Amino acid sequence: MNESYRHFAERQQKRNPSLETLLQFLATASSRTSTCRIISLDFYNDTLSPRQREIQVERLAHLLGDQGDGFVGRFVICEDLDPLIIEWLGTALQIDPMFFAAHIHHTSVGPGSDPPSLVTLSSILHAKEFVNLHFHRVIEFQDAPPNRRMFQTSIVPRKIMAVRVTGNKWLGLEQHCCSILRVSSQSIPWLYLILVDPPSTNAIAKGHRDKSCSSPTSVRIRPFQGGYEDFLPAQLPDQRDSDIGPGRHSMLDDIAYYWTRAPQLHFRRDSPTLLSACYIPLHLVASEWTQYIRLMSRSVKQFEYSVMGLPALLKDLSRLDSDLQALQSWRRRTITTMFKLHHVSKFIRTRCLAEPDSGVWTALADDFNELSANADTHGKRLEAMVPVVTSFIQVLDSRRALAETANISRVTYLALVFVPLTFASSLFSMEVDNAPGGRAFWMYFAVAVPLLILVLLIAWLHPLATFAVDLGQSWLPWLKMLRGNWKPRLHPGGHASGAAEQDDHLPGADLYA
């Protein structure tokens, strides 16, 4: 079974080269214990909310069974995917390898590998019966991270980028993905497979994902300010409910929470569409993107330098270099963010045409458009900071160049003093009488002091001569102008007048007039 799906993906890779990431992931034999967690949400006619139950990995063979009376459909949510689960699900449910490839894609496989969303036309992607929702979760580091680039502890390698906001406070952007697939099967009315990433409590520094490392560098992390805001209506004060909302830590638990406590009225149980099945994941992803926009706003405030802090800032070249690198990273990150948000918005608008209550989906698409507009606004403000930081670095470099020039001038003056004295001492060092304490020691000063004065005079006259030349060149246009305006006043019958009249009849006089 395992070999068949891998071989199928290898054959498909000849048509879709973007499946290279999936093949590399399937070929990786992880030595870690599988932490995959699977639950199912079963819908029945006699109950409004679905029934939640845990599914052991060994019981995956009964995924299409265990239906019971009144059964209408099932959600299967899988957390922390591993190669064995992919091969079993892909073979049993006949899943398109593009679905897994788009979910597990990560940037650490090399620059030559691109995700399917970048190399496939959007019209082809939106026509498929699955969607991959990539987003970033904002986290807080409890301690200063050792590197800017770190990784999660999940089996699918997800990147965490550290972002310093103020002083020693560090936040992070944690890559996440939620993928939803409609499974076509004749043995079950309808089945949706949802893949999510596991919650993270630690971030591992780059180069320490190998568990064989004796002392991996890890930092404790937590959701930023408790996580996203609940999008359900507020409860009335007289409603006594022990429920305090979603956990905001595990996306699997959050999806199960919203489906069991707030079933959607527009969800058609008999034959739900892909868009209606994505209603709760789309709201969760939009809430996470809202936190991301808040981080962008904080970063804009960080780079708005105050006038009072400029003197200290212009002395700290390392901070300016760090700020410039961060701003350049935000430029690329903003482009990727807008691409992901536009992809989701287009997916909603393409699918909502077939929905009876299209107003709900239009409002949700407007939310993603607003998030994209806010990201574009903050991205432009961050990009406008790049020339400012670059100018600060140039000012600091020019100040350092002037200081180095002054130091070189001081060394030059010292050389002008000691070189003549050393030259004179070398001339008189062959005679014992000229040594210090000798009877002719005065001859050293008689020669060295005039020589030193001559050298200093030449060194002083050189810039003076340069100044005189520059002064003469600056006065030259004025002298030419005065000379052109001055004309000699002679008698009309004088020699000068006759010479001028004679010159008027010379050949070519009109040409040079």
Taking only the tens place, the pLDDT of each residue in 444-474 is 777 777 877 877 777 777 666 666 666 666 7
Residue 485 clears pLDDT 80, i.e. is over it: no
* DSSP letter for each residue of 257-316: HHHHHS--TT--SSS--HHHHTHHHHHHHHHHHHHHHHHHHHHHHHT---STTHHHHTT-
| Strand pairing class (159-166; 202-205) | unpaired
Q: Look at residue 486 and give its three-state secondary structure.
A: coil
Q: Which residue has the higher pLDDT, 89 or 473?
A: 89
The residues with which 176 forms a beta bridge, in sequence order, are: 135
Residues whose CB is less than 8 angstroms from the CB of residue 456 and which lie 6 or more positions away in sequence, other chains included:
416, 417
* DSSP letter for each residue of 406-436: HHHHHHHHHHHHHHHHHHHHHHHTT-STTST
pLDDT tens per residue across span 168-213: 788 999 999 999 999 988 888 899 999 999 998 888 886 544 444 4
Q: Which of 143-147, 333-337, 438-442 has the highest mean pLDDT?
A: 333-337
- Chain centre to alpha carbon of residue 234: 36
**Region for residue 167 given its phi and psi (left: phi exceeds 0; alpha: psi -120 to 50; beta: otherwise):** left
- What's the per-residue H, E or C state across 1-27? CHHHHHHHHHHHHCCCHHHHHHHHHHH
- Distance (Å, rounded) from C-alpha 115 to C-alpha 98? 10
Residue 513 clears pLDDT 50, i.e. is over it: no
Q: What are the phi and psi torsion angles at 116 (to 5°)?
A: -60, -30
The stretch 349-368 carries a mean pLDDT of: 87
137, 319, 325 from 160: Cα distances, Å:
9, 22, 17
Q: Give the chain's mean pLDDT.
A: 80
Residue 219's nearest CA partner among 176, 165, 135, 160 is 160
Residue 163's nearest CA partner among 142, 140, 135, 143 is 140
Query: What is the rounded end-to-end Cα distance, in angstroms, of the chain?
Result: 102
The stretch 101-111 carries a mean pLDDT of: 68
Please tell me the predicted confidence (pLDDT) of residue 41.
93
38, 226, 393 from 313: Cα distances, Å:
52, 33, 10
Residue 152 clears pLDDT 60, i.e. is over it: yes
pLDDT tens per residue across span 281-332: 999 999 999 999 999 998 888 777 654 566 666 667 777 777 888 888 898 8
Taking every pair of Cα atoms in the chain, the longest distance, rounded to a whole number of angstroms, is 135
Of the candidate ranges 197-206, 239-248, 493-502, the one whose mean pLDDT is the lowest: 493-502
The residues with which 314 forms a beta bridge, in sequence order, are: none
Residue 106 clears pLDDT 90, i.e. is over it: no
Do 343 and 122 form a contact (C-beta atoms < 8 A)? yes
The stretch 380-397 carries a mean pLDDT of: 84
Does the pTM surpass 0.95? The reply is: no
Do 282 and 292 form a contact (C-beta atoms < 8 A)? no
Sign of the torsion angle spanned by Cα atoms 120, 126, 127, 130: positive
Q: Which two tokens stand for residue 203?
A: 């971030």
Q: Which two tokens stand for residue 60?
A: 């995956």
- Distance (Å, rounded) from C-alpha 255 to C-alpha 250? 9
The stretch 234-252 carries a mean pLDDT of: 68
* DSSP letter for each residue of 79-99: ES--HHHHHHHHHHHT--HHH
Instruction: Tell me how crowded residue 43 is: count the other CB atoms within 10 A of its CB.
Output: 23
Do 204 and 152 form a contact (C-beta atoms < 8 A)? yes
- Distance (Å, rounded) from C-alpha 246 to C-alpha 253? 8
Share of the chain above pLDDT 90, in %: 29
- What's the per-residue H, E or C state across 223-235? EHHHCCCCCCCCC
The stretch 24-33 carries a mean pLDDT of: 75
Do 38 and 31 form a contact (C-beta atoms < 8 A)? no
The stretch 151-161 carries a mean pLDDT of: 89
In this structure, what DSSP letter does residue 215 have? S
Residue 165 clears pLDDT 60, i.e. is over it: yes
- Count the residues in the chain: 513
* DSSP letter for each residue of 159-194: EEEEEEEETTEEEEEEEEEEEEEEEP-SSSS-EEEE
In this structure, what DSSP letter does residue 440 have? T
Residue 454's nearest CA partner among 422, 416, 428 is 416
In this structure, what DSSP letter does residue 237 have? T
**What band does 271 get if pLDDT is binned at 50, 70 and 90?**
confident
Q: Look at residue 205 and give its three-state secondary structure.
A: strand
Share of the chain above pLDDT 70, in %: 76
**What band does 39 get if pLDDT is binned at 50, 70 and 90?**
very high
